[in-house]
Each structure stands twice: as structure tokens, then as C-alpha cells.
A and B are shown apart, each in its own frame.
Chain A
């Protein structure tokens, strides 16, 4: 991709080598509601390094967004509650920080891009104000400086005639332009990590690619970590380095992106890949994973995927599978590959 300016890398490179930028360890989140306790996240582990892109893949209700909101510190509590786990950011557990400390990380060190830019931008404030707010709050910039920086940012995300449009309101922009504004807002203070929650789902297909390319390009330029949350396998392939697949609040498979596409090691991943329409399948019936996503109030015993799995055994119905290190046929470990399936060998090699 594009070459990153060296100055930016130097500034970001204060991390102890080997320590990931963000390391989520055994995170558990539940929601207490009138209908009972919904276990949304049940022991999630993942990490992201500077300059790396992690794609988190899953259906709605898989806990991918809840995990992201917990990292960001914007989960509604109550009803949400973190029951166990650590979120290490640059070696410090964010869950143990004061509210004020966390607030200062939000926006400046970790920024988030939301799915629906129209509802996520404040309808009654100009985009220039909303962009400039980042500089005014975190850097104490004056109104004038903030506006100038807002125009600069809009230029950077390639919004035409930025100087003329800085006082416009969100509803006056097209969907793609609005999402660019969301990206600009996230980039404003050159954060270490960006979490993008379904950033292109609400957009037209043609615009999706543009926005995704822009995001990837800027990420490389600033050498940021990126967590890309999506349910769309197509979006992931070009931009991600590694993938974590989530199901019912757990990670069921992690792998470098091309390995996962080539040889999935979990029946759920396999099903997801099979359900992508392909041109060479023209005329055939499209595959769909049977059944419905699990009810989080009553997660099935054993592997949560077992009622929908084609190869489930008795073991799958009683014992929750651990996240196994995946090996090749000779028993050599495959780097970065893990699968939470009792039958990973059969799935991978069979």
C-alpha cells in the first residue's frame, strides 16, 4: 500500500516490542434485563498490533459489537456489566482506569467509526463544529483553529469543496460523504487504534469500496491498529491481516485472512464461506446455515453452534470446546490459527 510518513511511525513506536497495542483477555459481558441475563460476551481474547488490521466477523448477536463498545467504554451500564476479563491498552488495563482517564483515551487514543453516519452525527450541529470539537476538547484549540483543522480533515478524506461545506449539516451530505466525515472525526487526533463497527454496511456497493479503500489507506499512512467489525466476508478479504470469527459471544476461529478463506477450521466459518454467492455456482441453490442465531438468554449447552452444525457429535452437545491451536497434517503449528471446534482436524483436513 502507500508508504507511511516516517515521522508518524516514530511517534507511535513507543511500545515495548512484542507487546500488542490492544490485548483483550478473557472478556465476559452480560446484560441484566427483565427477561433474564443475556450472556453477550463469554471469554473473548484478541489482540491488535500497531499497523495491523483485525477483522471481527459474526452475525448480529455474536457479541462483536458489544466487545467493541466495551473496549471503547461506551457500553450502556446498566443493563450491561463486565463480569470478568482485562482490556490491556499499551500494557495498562483500561477496566481499572478512572472514568476521566478513560475519557481522555476515547477519541484521542482509540476512536470509533459507527455504522449509520446519519444517525451517528448530531443532526443539529454543523459537521465543522463536530469535527472541530475534537481539537477544542482534547487540545484546547480555539474556535478558529478548530475550524481550520476541520477543513484540513475534510480535505484529507477527500470531501470536495471542504472549505465551502464546513458549515453544512449532516443531512446535506450524501451517505458516502457522511461516512467520510465519520472517518475524518475518528482520524482527527491520529489515534493509535480505530474501531470501525460495520463502517460500510449502510452504503451503496460502489461507495462501499471507496470508503473501505480510504480507511485502509489512512490506516497504513498513520500506522494505526484497526479493528474492523463486520458480518460481510467480502469486505474483509482485501483489507484485513487476520480474522476472528465470533459466535454466541465466543471466538470460534482465528486465522490470517488468506488461510481462513482457503481452509477454514471451524464448521461455522465453513458455512459462512459457503453462503457467499459465487459466479461459478450460477443456477445452483445458495447454501444457508440452517437454524437461527442462538438466543443469548439460553445458550445451548456444549458448543453453542451444535444445533446448527452438520457434523456435531455427542461431545459437542456436552462440552464447550477450547480454542485449539491448529496444526497441519504433520503436526506443525500453523501460525496464528486457532479453532474452537472438537472436530477441527476433520474440518480442516477432511
Chain B
């Protein structure tokens, strides 16, 4: 009997959980992410897409640009011919839709990643300078940001891209970065202003740390989280914008392979060959979805308040 009592009534002290090793926000977020199915699914999709973009020939041996007019879109797909040229049928010029799906990933992934990197660096830097220095520097940067913000992204990109006679992936990247950086500036500025007021920044200043050191060592690591979240979610949006521009005929041009171009050419045969639209459109949607889901998961992991 006394034994039993010992077990059922433990001292209060021993029931406390063992203290865990303190983790940084980054590793905490990573720890949290690995347990989320949404993160795992979207990360797997993105890895696959990047593989398509880097080495498309691993997934298909068919030349996506070789057209055989005898094989035009009226020859139906053979859904059992896995990974073959006619798996998803042929487009209007007799090119393999499957091969074009795989090769189209490159333009989307490159535009998405490069535009995001561009706007994050450019916009982030502007936002950090505005937020850190305040005063007239902030006023100037903020007003310039406002000016760009008034121009709709799609319209502005149309105007800028129209200035290029031949448009490559890089012209699209240039146009989207030139018009899109202001979004990151606003996010970074707000974030830096919050962090700047915290005690550890004051402490670093009191200890005589230099401006650059304070900015990059103390402020940046603490202010970057919201920027990462917005950037990840925006990445999907940039991919969609590129496809929309290409669809309108003002984005990428042949011979670059873009799902947007393929969607555009498939619209004329929508009634007779819906598959010609379905596969590039589906591929594009899945890609955008994967990046948005990744952004959602990263936000949930980085922002514990939202849980």
C-alpha cells in the first residue's frame, strides 16, 4: 500500500517537463515544417519541378520543338503510353505536349526564382534603408514606392516588355523586378522599424557597433521573417504573371517554351482538343499551387502567433 501511494502521488517538482535545448527561430521553424504534410507535398513538387527545369532530357527523350504536322492536335492522346511522345497528344504543330510540359518548367522556375530574388534584394535593401534611417531618406523612398505601387503589375509589365523587340526570360525578369520591388520595400520597412525599436538594437548601438554591423548583424536576421513569407507566396504569383504575359503574347516568345504560350495556342482548338489546353494549364496551376502552399507552410512555421 505505501508503495502505491508513492507512485500515485509524485512530488510536484518531478512532474515538470525536462527543459529542452533552446532553439533559434530558424531551426524551430524547420523543426516545425518537417512535421507538416502540406510542406512535404509542396517541397516534393518543387524539387521535381526544379529537376524538370535543370535536366528535362532525363524525363523525356522527345525534342519539344520538333513538330510533325501529320501528328497535329487531332491525333488523340494515348494515356497508356507512359512517358512517350504521344502520352498527352500533340499540339497544333504536331509537337509532343508531354515534352513541352516538361521543358516548360524551366522558364517558369527561372522567372519565379530570379524575380523573387531580385525583388527581395532590391526591395529589401530599399526597405531596410528607409526603415533604418527614417527622416527624409524614408520619405523619399516611401514616396517613390507609392509611385510604383499605383501602376498595376500586369499593365506595367506589358508596357515595359513591349519595349523589347526580342523578349527572353531575362526581359520578363527585368520587367517584373522593375515593377514588383516596391512590395518587398513596404514589408521590409515595416519590419525594420519594429525591430529597430527593440532593446537589443539600442544595446548594440550603446556598445558602439557600426551602422553596417547593426543593420546586417542585429536588424536583418530579426526583420527578415515577414519578407521571406511574402516572397515565398509572391513567387507563385510571379510564375502566374509570366504565364499570363506569355498568354497575351507580350511575354516569352518562341523558341522559348512557356506554358503560357501553349495555353494561348491551345485556346483556338478548345472545342476539338481540350487536352491541349488542359495539360499545360494543369502543370502551371500545380506549380503555382506548390509555391503558394510552401509559402503558407513557411508562414505558419515562422509566425507562431497565427497558429
Contacts and interface: CB of A to CB of B under 8 A. Distances in A.
A317 B9 contact: yes
A317 B11 CA distance: 12
For the residues of B in contact with A, the DSSP-based class is helix
B5 A292 contact: no
A284 interface: no
A308 B8 CA distance: 15
A301 B15 contact: no
A61 interface: no
B272 interface: no
A314 B15 contact: no
A295 to B, nearest CB: 7
B12 A302 contact: no
Nearest to B8: A301
Contact of B12 (A292, A301, A314, A318): A292
A307 B12 contact: yes
Contacts of B15: 295, 298
A306 B9 contact: yes
Interface residues of A, number: 13
Interface in B231-260: none
A307 B9 contact: yes
Contact of B9 (A291, A292, A295, A301): A301
A246 to B, nearest CB: 19
Interface string B134-157: 000000000000000000000000
Interface string A284-322: 000000011001001011100011100000100110000
B18 to A, nearest CB: 16
Nearest to B11: A307
Interface residues on B, range: under 10
A317 B5 contact: yes
A308 B12 CA distance: 8
A295 B11 CA distance: 12
Nearest to B5: A317
Interface in B146-200: none
A308 B5 CA distance: 16
A314 B5 contact: yes
A317 B9 CA distance: 7
Nearest to A302: B9
Nearest to B4: A318
Contacts of B2: 314
A317 B8 CA distance: 9
A21 B24 CA distance: 55
A298 B12 CA distance: 11
Contacts of A306: 9
Interface in A127-148: none
Contacts of A291: 12-13
Nearest to A292: B12
A300 B11 CA distance: 10
Interface string B1-33: 010010011011101000000000000000000
Contacts of A295: 15
A190 to B, nearest CB: 41
A301 B5 CA distance: 9
Interface in A86-138: none
Interface string B107-119: 0000000000000
A292 B13 CA distance: 9
Nearest to B13: A291
Interface in A26-79: none
A308 B15 CA distance: 14
A247 to B, nearest CB: 14
B257 to A, nearest CB: 48
Most chain A CB neighbours (cut-off 10 Å) among B2, B8, B11, B12: B12
A140 B5 CA distance: 61
B151 to A, nearest CB: 33
Contacts of A318: 5
B91 to A, nearest CB: 52
A291 B13 CA distance: 8
11 contacts: A291-B13, A298-B15, A300-B8, A300-B9, A301-B9, A302-B9, A306-B9, A307-B9, A307-B11, A317-B8, A317-B9
Interface of A: 291-292, 295, 298, 300-302, 306-308, 314, 317-318
Q: Rank and list the top 7 A-B pairs by shortest CB-CB distance, nearest first.
A: A291-B12, A301-B8, A317-B9, A307-B12, A317-B5, A300-B9, A292-B12
Interface of B: 2, 5, 8-9, 11-13, 15
Given A300-B9, A317-B9, A318-B5, 18 more contacts: A291-B12, A291-B13, A292-B12, A295-B15, A298-B15, A300-B8, A301-B8, A301-B9, A302-B9, A306-B9, A307-B9, A307-B11, A307-B12, A308-B12, A314-B2, A314-B5, A317-B5, A317-B8
